[in-house]
Structure 1
Amino acid sequence: METRTRRAGRRRAPGAALWAAPLVALTASCAPGTQVMLAEDRYPHHSAADWVTYADHVVVVTAEREREGSHAPLPFIDREVDLRVDRILWSRPGAARAVPATVGWTASGWVRDDSGGRTRTAVEGAPRVEAGHSYVLALVWEEARCDEGDPRVPAAWRGLGSGGAIPFDGAVLGAGESEGRVRTAAEAREDADARASGTGLTPSLEDEVTGKGTEALTARLEAAVPGERRQFARPAPCP
């Protein structure tokens, strides 16, 4: 059974590449063996305008290796994933830092229970980023943070949020691993259509391009007009 959880606070926590949150259990339904969490995104990521406003680069990556991490607060265990950068699809003009050939990525891993066991975790609507799968990621470089009373957060490439990472197996947007489940392009398209009909909201960038190739995504990014880049966390430079 899949368990869904909701965040209980605003402190950045497990899998900081994608989200922030301490989390508590909510409800259940769907895929076996995974606890799916609702979490706070770092930046807006719904539209192409959001991507070109907040991302430094949009890249195609393949997850090559992963290992247990050590940055998440108990009872969470994160994962450190090595991402091979296969292609750069878009870069923000004037981006201060070039994308390296390999990006280190902190991803959701597991949560411990009282008996000492562990359950796999994922963020709702987002890939876990698992070895052997490909993704399109909107990347932003964040400098190290030193908030008083909190552990030092190292500088790293991070994501915009749950909608800033798109599965990309077989060179098809939306196809591949998401929430720890592998979907076909047809299944991903069906999910996107269901969201559109069920909510009545403007489709997200991911839903607009699901089932298509990177040309559709790149065209939307190149046509988008960036907005004002807002600050969502107070400055906390390290000495």
Structure 2
Amino acid sequence: MPHTSSDQPVAGRRWLPTTRRSRLTTLAVVAATLTGGTVVGVVIADDAGDKGPLVGRTDMSGLPTLTASDWVTNGDHAVVIEMVPGSEHRGALPDGETSGREGHIPRIATMRVDQVLWSRPGAAAAPKTYRTELPGWWRDGSGEREFAWKDEPRYEEGHRYIALLIKGDDGKWGATLHAMPYDDGKVGTGENEGTVVSSRSTDALEGLEKAANGKSATAVKQLLNAAAPQN
């Protein structure tokens, strides 16, 4: 998932969370502001009691971040990141949801930049670490379940990712959509949607992630350096 942040809010389109089973129940309409855009939609859970994360499908307008050209057009830095061990803690329900029975409870954590793969000319220096809000849990009357965005990492301790960073007008750093799992030196290996995967089929991928799937950070760097920014 993209890190949730107040950086660069842009009105977004609908998203429709899904789960792995077919029996679905609408829980609530929620909104989330992301780095480069905002999404609004409906949280859905299955009646069968699936214990896996609730998965929200995004259809967000804002800064395009799908292709290598999108990354070098709209980003500040492409980086390899991981969570600082022990830095994660539980956030609070958003304003207006504190007295209700339903809502998203975020995680707050510090991310460490291990390697800078590409930088936009003139961009502020990439941070060594940055504090950010991450997908956490969905709370309703029956309890809590982990929450994740469709085809996006939850960003969990012990895993690495390749992500596009943007510095917002408020000076805060955050990652955009289309971050890529990057364990064991391979794009597509690692945590995604709260599940650890050893590989991903290119048939299900698009853009930069499809071109880089199974390859190293060096290959991502080469793809970005070869990409032309859009005018």
Q: State the TM-score bracket (shorter-chain normalisation).
A: 0.7 to 0.9
| CA distance in 1: counterparts of 2:114 and 2:83, whole angstroms | 10
Residue 52 of structure 2 aligns with which residue? 33
Could you say what secondary structure the match of 1:174 adopts?
coil
Is 1:158 the counterpart of 2:174 in the alignment? yes
Residue 200 of structure 1 aligns with which residue? none
Alpha-carbon deviations, 1:125-181, whole Å to 9, x = none?
10000111111110001113xxxxxxxxxx4212222x1x11111111111000000
Amino acid at match of 2:41: L
Equivalent residues in 2 for 1:89-238, closer than 5 Å:
89-95=117-123, 97-115=124-142, 117-144=143-170, 155-161=171-177, 163=178, 165-185=179-199, 188=200, 190=201, 192-193=202-203, 195=204, 203-228=206-231
Shift of 1:81: 1.7
Cα distance, 1:17–1:177 mapped onto 2, change above 3 Å: farther
Cα distance, 1:130–1:70 mapped onto 2, change above 3 Å: same
Cα distance, 1:121–1:87 mapped onto 2, change above 3 Å: same
- Higher helix fraction: Structure 1 or Structure 2? 1
Shift of 1:82: 1.1
Q: Which one scores higher on RCO, CA 8 angstroms, separation ≥ 6?
A: 2
| CA distance in 1: counterparts of 2:213 and 2:27, whole angstroms | 26
Could you say what secondary structure the match of 2:225 adopts?
helix
Amino acid at match of 2:198: T
Partner residue of 1:70 out of 81, 92, 95: 92
Provide the aligned length of Structure 1 versus Structure 2: 199
What residue ranges of structure 1 are gaps of 5+ in the alignment? 145-154, 197-202, 229-239
Amino acid at match of 1:70: A
CA contact (8 A) 1:55 1:138 kept: yes
| CA distance in 1: counterparts of 2:188 and 2:57, whole angstroms | 20
CA RMSD of aligned residues (A): 2.7
Shift of 1:100: 1.8
| CA distance in 2: counterparts of 1:45 and 1:7, whole angstroms | 28
Runs of 4+ in 1 over 6 A off after TM superposition: 3-7
Amino acid at match of 2:222: A
CA contact (8 A) 2:28 2:44 kept: no
CA contact (8 A) 1:6 1:23 kept: no
Residue 235 of structure 1 aligns with which residue? none
Shift of 1:68: 1.1
Cα distance, 1:90–1:106 mapped onto 2, change above 3 Å: same
Q: Which piece of structure 1 moves more, 81-90 or 64-73? A: 64-73
What residue ranges of structure 2 are gaps of 5+ in the alignment? 1-18, 98-102
Is 1:46 the counterpart of 2:72 in the alignment? no
CA contact (8 A) 2:66 2:207 kept: yes
| CA distance in 2: counterparts of 1:114 and 1:52, whole angstroms | 44
CA contact (8 A) 1:42 1:160 kept: no
Amino acid at match of 1:159: A
- TM-score, normalisation: structure 1: 0.74
Identity of aligned residues (%): 33
Cα distance, 1:42–1:120 mapped onto 2, change above 3 Å: farther
| CA distance in 2: counterparts of 1:55 and 1:70, whole angstroms | 29
CA contact (8 A) 1:2 1:32 kept: no
